[in-house]
A and B are shown apart, each in its own frame.
Chain A
Amino acid sequence: DSGVTQTPKHLITATGQRVTLRCSPRSGDLSVYWYQQSLDQGLQFLIQYYNGEERAKGNILERFSAQQFPDLHSELNLSSLELGDSALYFCASRAGVDTGELFFGEGSRLTVL
């Protein structure tokens, strides 16, 4: 158990809909990262928050947005969903500024029909 909690584990929805994925980082971790993993693909970095502020941005679509709340949990909002958005979405939290090691949640599998 990494200590990072993601909900929901599975989500099936239709094109054009909006979903919210939730992540609770490990206790004490201030950084939260979001990654997208499409079928048999690597992890695409989406966005990172540190203590409530956006710190780094990757290949995140304009239809996607995220935030980190004062209690440090984070949400990834995906809107106007398309078939190609079907993927495994990982949240990870970082242990500290010195090593950069990421602790991953189990992922949220999104299926868009």
Chain B
Amino acid sequence: AQTVTQSQPEMSVQEAETVTLSCTYDTSESDYYLFWYKQPPSRQMILVIRQEAYKQQNATENRFSVNFQKAAKSFSLKISDSQLGDAAMYFCAYRSALDDKIIFGKGTRLHILP
């Protein structure tokens, strides 16, 4: 069964600095999708960024980018120029292209220090 591991329960970063959140996953499949979701204090889950495993190019969305290392099964999220509004719980998620399960890691709580 696939698993998603986020090894950093909490992280802090100074406003305007860059922070990287780690995510590793375990799968025997070659085709899948990876996601980062943000959950602010409002508890609403919001998609931050998405990566298809067959694409070698790392996805980017404005200040958010990923470092996708397929062989290492690693999918880290880099937030540049951190802003106070980035403070949230961040979840890494995996979806196989073969079945419909979408599983999440336990999350990393990110604090932004003014």
Interface residues of A (CB under 8 A from B): 2, 31, 33, 35, 41-43, 45, 48, 50, 55-56, 58, 88, 90, 92, 94, 99-104, 106-107
Contacts and interface: CB of A to CB of B under 8 A. Distances in A.
Given A100-B33, A101-B35, A101-B50, A50 B100 contact: yes
Interface residues of B, number: 22
Nearest to B9: A40
Interface in B22-76: 33, 35, 37, 43-47, 50, 52
Interface of B: 33, 35, 37, 43-47, 50, 52, 91, 93, 95, 99-107
Q: Is the interface of A mostly helix, strand, loop or mixed?
A: strand
A101 B44 contact: no
Contact of A45 (B37, B44, B104, B107): B104
Given A99-B33, A102-B47, A42 B107 contact: yes
B47 A101 contact: yes
Nearest to B92: A42
A48 B91 contact: no
Contacts of A43: 45, 91, 104
B107 A102 contact: no
Contacts of A31: 100
A99 B46 CA distance: 15
